[in-house]
Amino acid sequence: MADTEPVAIVELGVNDAPGGFALSTEARWNQNEADWRFFLTNGIVFGVRDGTHLVATAALLPYSAGNAWISMVLVTERWRRRGIATRLVDACLDAARQRGLTTWLDATPAGATVYGPLGFAPTLQLRRLRLEHSTHATSTTLANFDIDTFSARDRRAMGFERNALLAEFGARTGSRVVSCGNAMALVRDGRIARHIGPLFADSAADALMLANAISQSESGPLLIDAIASQEQFIVGLTGAGWNIERPFQRMRFGRATAQSEELPFAVAGPEFG
């Protein structure tokens, strides 16, 4: 299709999960096909096709208390620099306005320069860290934790509930909700690495003890999206062999609808908040 031809934005369905997965795989993101099915089943996902081939996406995932997350803004290489990503985000914002939703997103530094002029305001910052192989041993024992108690703590951290998301995560093959002392975290599969988060704790020392215990119980690479202001936790992770891959900027469009009661140490991921 020529650059000058109009681009039609369509709403996608669950059968588009393989096409969305192909786009995030091209971008070398960590989402798996189960993540795409969740977005397409529980959210509003817009896309652009070249014939039957999906070439761009953006998703709006509603949560409770008038909140929603925008993510999965992807355009295949050949279709970039045509303004498609901006149009897809506008479609998500229009859908959110129609439903009275405050929208959030976690942007890369390049993305933040695009979303700022659209009206998004920065809130907190994240740091994505990766661990290839654990560099130290620990004798800490992990305990399994129930998803309802975990969801209640997530609600205090977010200011709104995400029970459907966390229950779906917890029910997936390979997922674990684990605790160590008063720290707790969810561990789940990704395409290229297992992901830790959300992670809650009463102190950085407790959060680090849990992260270390998880790393010792896992055999493959791990990712974690830590809150940047939890500096002691991040320093502890890097000292244990984790490497900072990239920053993310959390941004909000519209007024805050709820106040969080605690700051987590790590989040569910930039695509989920």
**Is 127-253 CATH 3.40.50.300?**
no
Torsion, Cα 24 30 34 38, to 10 degrees, reads -70
To the question of domain 9-100 being in CATH 2.100.10.30, the answer is no
- Report yes or no: 194 and 216 within 8 Å, Cβ to Cβ: no
pLDDT score of 259: 80
Question: How far apart (Å, rounded) are the C-alpha atoms in residues 96 and 237?
Answer: 37
At 233, is the secondary structure helix, strand, or coil? helix
Strand locations in the chain, DSSP E?
9-11, 44-50, 53-62, 67-75, 102-107, 121-131, 143-144, 176-180, 183-188, 194-200, 222-227, 243-253
pLDDT top residue among 138 and 53: 53
Task: Count H helices and E strands in the chain, helices first.
Answer: 8, 12
Q: What is the pLDDT of residues 125-160, one digit of tens each?
A: 999 999 997 655 565 678 887 899 999 999 999 999
Residue 228's nearest CA partner among 206, 205, 250 is 250
Beta bridge partners of 179: 143, 184
User: Are the C-beta atoms of 190 and 217 separated by less than 8 Å?
Assistant: no
**Contact, 106 vs 273, CB < 8 A?**
yes
Taken in order 219, 223, 227, 229, is the CA torsion positive or negative?
positive
User: pLDDT, tens digit, for every residue of 64-114?
Assistant: 999 999 999 999 999 998 999 999 999 999 999 999 999 999 999 988 988
Give the whole-angstrom CA distance, residue 245 versus residue 253.
Answer: 26
Domain-wise residue ranges, the chain: 9-100, 127-253
- Residue 54 reports pLDDT greater than 60: yes
> What angle (nearest 5°) sits at the alpha carbon of residue 222, between those of residues 217 and 224?
115
Give dist(CA 236, CA 207) in Å, integer. Answer: 10
pLDDT score, position 2: 42
pLDDT value of position 134: 63
What integer best gives the mean pLDDT of the chain?
Answer: 93
Residue 3 predicted with pLDDT over 60 = no
The pLDDT score that the predictor gives to residue 145 is 79
Name the least confident of 33-47, 105-119, 152-166, 224-238.
105-119
To the nearest 10 degrees (0 to 180), the angle between helices 204-217 and 231-239 is: 30
Q: Which strands make up the sheet holding 121-131, listed edge to edge?
A: 9-11, 44-50, 53-62, 67-75, 102-107, 243-253, 121-131, 222-227, 194-200, 183-188, 176-180, 143-144
**Left (φ > 0), alpha (ψ -120 to 50) or beta: where does 87 sit?**
alpha
Question: Quick check: helix, strand or coil at residue 259?
Answer: coil
* pLDDT tens-place string over residues 9-20: 999 999 999 999
